[in-house]
């Protein structure tokens, strides 16, 4: 079954509500579970024949073999000649994993143990700054060296009992200035997180932080740590070996929160909670490796994604966690999905004949309801929505808040599916006392087309284990979508050109070189900046 053949199964007139009417068991049949996490995709237009066609795609693409190759450490990142083994970072008791004939697990577990010791010593005060135990930790990193830990730190706030955490990513001096202003340079630990240790934003911020610390009486030789796969560069920066946590090139930046990049999270919540996060990821790995496709949550999430983007052509999808502590999850998924599957060239060098991955965006509910849901309900574009919500919150004294949150989440997916017809809108206007032309005019604005698809992921509570499950679920979803599209989800050549041009523009915006050779627009913008600078 090809993607094109699936298009023949698309039917704009197929009403989701009719599918429920025709099958009393639909909610069960079009759901899948991983542990106690439940994924409901019944509020989509997917019926049995569509699902069969989508599953056939997995067979045609040899998904099982590709999946096993990834877990086995084969070099499936072909354009960079690398294995893809972020799963090894959470393989706590899963046995050996070979890369180039060598088991990488002893080193992974050794680094993890070093992280645990370091994190607990920072938390307990045995590792301290010039002015005493650390009150604050600043993580300097960007992209995958920032978004994962930021997201997880917010998500695990109820478990946060270590020093305060701050994240600096942007090269905009405002970011580091606003962060450091509040901190004591003698009691702050700075973690420089960069896989390559060359990223201009991170290295610029790291140097600024080092100067701030030295000038403020702190001791960078004790108060800096590094997380990187370029150990020679961390040494050249002057970070003591005992404070350096390395990882291999087979961990992609956007897949790296499970290892040393997660160090700030471990310092915040402790090594036991971090272990639980790893175990959640590992549980999802086991599920992904063993469940039949139709029962396999990452696979079904991916197939729903393929159905909406590549078959029906919806250009974006909204990730809508009804969980305030997942406020940075949409941004994290943005990198995970868009940097992985935003490609137009297949692994074999040919051009993709179907659309690449969609635009991924979102905000927590209920906030989004009062901002952009208008367009989701009544705009001209269909935006498939991915809701997620916990059965219970962390605040036993505020259960009424959580019930309202849950009710709102469920109400949105129901409203998207159900819609409101013109006749129903007319009845409401009539009940409000409107008549004739005015009733007709007002009623049209109150029509909801409905039949808009959504999925819901529901879990018991946002614990470290559940967070691990969620993150690994989406990683595998991205992997499956990439395999079905025939692309390499693990490189990111599309970020290079901008970096190169920024380097060449550096001396021009410094006023040291002329803008000759640049296009007229760029030259005029540089001229404006130079003219309006003090
Ligand atoms: O520019 C993109 C990117 O390479 C991401 O893939 C990566 O997560 C980020 O930059 C940061 O890279 P590094 O960890 O090497 O500083």
pLDDT tens sequence across 234-280 = 999 999 999 999 999 999 999 999 999 999 999 999 999 999 999 99
Ligand 1 mean position to 201 CA, how many Å?
Answer: 10
Nearest partner of 3 among 44, 66, 60, 67, judged by Cα: 60
Query: Nearest C-alpha to atom 10 of ligand 1 is from which residue?
Result: 143
195 Cβ closer than 6 Å to some ligand 1 atom: yes
pLDDT in tens, 481-502: 999 999 999 999 999 999 999 9
* pTM, entire model: 0.97
254 Cβ closer than 6 Å to some ligand 1 atom: yes
pLDDT in tens, 47-75: 999 999 999 999 999 999 999 999 999 99
In degrees, rounded to 5, the angle at the alpha carbon of residue 246 between the alpha carbons of residues 244 and 249 is: 155
202 Cβ closer than 6 Å to some ligand 1 atom: yes
Tokens at 154, concatenated: 């917010």
Around 15, how many Cα atoms within 13 Å sit in the side-chain half-sphere? 9
Cα dihedral: 322, 328, 329, 335 (round 10): 150
How many C-beta atoms surround the C-beta of residue 295 within 10 A? 14
Contact 85, 99 (CB under 8 A): yes
What is the rounded distance in angstroms from the CA atom of residue 140 to the CA atom of residue 131?
A: 21
Tokens at 521, concatenated: 């627009």
Residues 6+ apart with CB under 8 A from 263: 115, 118, 119, 149, 191, 193, 225, 227, 245
pLDDT in tens, 282-302: 999 999 999 999 999 999 999
Cα→Cα distances 465→110, 315, 457, Å: 22, 32, 15
256 Cβ closer than 6 Å to some ligand 1 atom: no
Q: Reduce the DSSP state of residue 356 to 3 states and report it.
A: coil
Ligand 1 mean position to 140 CA, how many Å?
Answer: 12
Ligand 1, atom nearest to 495 Cα: 1
Tokens at 393, concatenated: 């919150």
Beta bridge partners of 39: 32, 457
Cα 335–chain centre separation: 6
**Top mutation candidate among 205, 253, 263 for ligand 1, by most atoms within 8 Å of CB:** 253
204 Cβ closer than 6 Å to some ligand 1 atom: no
Cα 498–chain centre separation: 22
Catalytic residues: 339, 370, 499
Q: Is the pLDDT of residue 1 over 80?
A: no
pLDDT class of 231 with cuts at 50, 70, 90: very high
Query: Nearest C-alpha to atom 8 of ligand 1 is from which residue?
Result: 144
């Amino acid at each position: 079954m090809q993607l094109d053949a699936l298009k023949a199964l698309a039917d704009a007139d197929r009403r989701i509500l009719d599918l429920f009417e025709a099958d009393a068991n639909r909610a069960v049949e079009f759901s899948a579970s991983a542990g106690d996490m439940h994924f409901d995709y019944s509020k989509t237009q997917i019926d049995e024949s569509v699902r069969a066609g989508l599953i056939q795609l997995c067979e045609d693409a040899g998904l099982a073999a590709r999946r096993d190759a990834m877990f086995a450490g084969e070099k499936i990142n072909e354009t960079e000649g690398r294995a893809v083994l972020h799963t090894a970072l959470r393989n706590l008791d899963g046995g050996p994993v070979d890369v180039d004939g060598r088991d990488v697990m002893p080193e992974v577990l050794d680094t993890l143990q070093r992280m645990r010791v370091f994190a607990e010593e920072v938390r307990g005060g045995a590792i301290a700054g010039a002015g005493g135990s650390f009150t604050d930790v600043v993580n300097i990193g960007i992209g995958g060296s920032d978004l994962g830990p930021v997201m997880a730190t917010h998500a695990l706030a109820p478990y946060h009992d270590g020093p305060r955490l701050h994240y600096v990513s942007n090269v905009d001096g405002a970011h580091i200035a606003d962060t450091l202003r509040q901190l004591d340079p003698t009691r702050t630990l700075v973690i420089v997180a960069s896989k390559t240790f060359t990223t201009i934003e991170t290295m610029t911020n790291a140097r600024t932080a080092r100067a701030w610390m030295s000038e403020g009486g702190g001791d960078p030789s004790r108060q800096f740590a590094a997380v990187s796969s370029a150990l020679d560069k961390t040494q050249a920066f002057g970070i003591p070996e005992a404070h350096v946590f390395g990882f291999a090139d087979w961990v992609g930046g956007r897949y790296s929160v499970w290892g040393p990049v997660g160090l700030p999270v471990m310092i915040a919540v402790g090594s036991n909670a971090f272990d639980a996060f790893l175990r959640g990821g590992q549980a999802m790995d086991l599920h992904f490796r063993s469940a039949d496709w139709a029962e396999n949550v990452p696979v079904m999430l991916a197939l729903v994604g393929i159905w909406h983007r590549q078959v029906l052509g919806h250009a974006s999808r909204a990730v809508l966690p009804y969980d305030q502590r997942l406020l940075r999850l949409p941004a994290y998924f943005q990198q995970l999905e868009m940097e992985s599957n935003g490609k137009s060239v297949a692994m074999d060098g040919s051009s993709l004949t179907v659309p690449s991955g969609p635009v991924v965006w979102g905000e927590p509910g209920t906030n989004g309801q009062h901002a952009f849901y208008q367009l989701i309900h009544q705009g001209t574009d269909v935006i498939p929505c991915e809701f997620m919500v916990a059965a219970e919150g962390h605040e036993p004294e505020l259960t009424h808040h959580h019930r309202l949150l849950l009710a709102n989440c469920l109400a949105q997916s129901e409203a998207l599916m159900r819609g409101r017809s013109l006749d129903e809108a007319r009845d409401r206007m009539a009940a409000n006392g409107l008549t004739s032309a005015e009733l007709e005019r007002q009623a049209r604005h109150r029509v909801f087309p409905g039949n808009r698809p959504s999925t819901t992921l529901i879990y018991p509570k946002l614990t470290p284990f559940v967070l691990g499950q969620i993150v690994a679920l989406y990683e595998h979803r991205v992997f499956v979508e990439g395999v079905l599209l025939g692309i390499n989800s693990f490189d990111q050549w599309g970020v290079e050109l901008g970096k190169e041009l920024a380097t060449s523009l550096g001396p021009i915006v410094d006023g040291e070189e002329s803008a000759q050779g640049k296009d007229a627009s760029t030259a005029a913008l540089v001229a404006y900046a130079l003219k309006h600078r003090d």
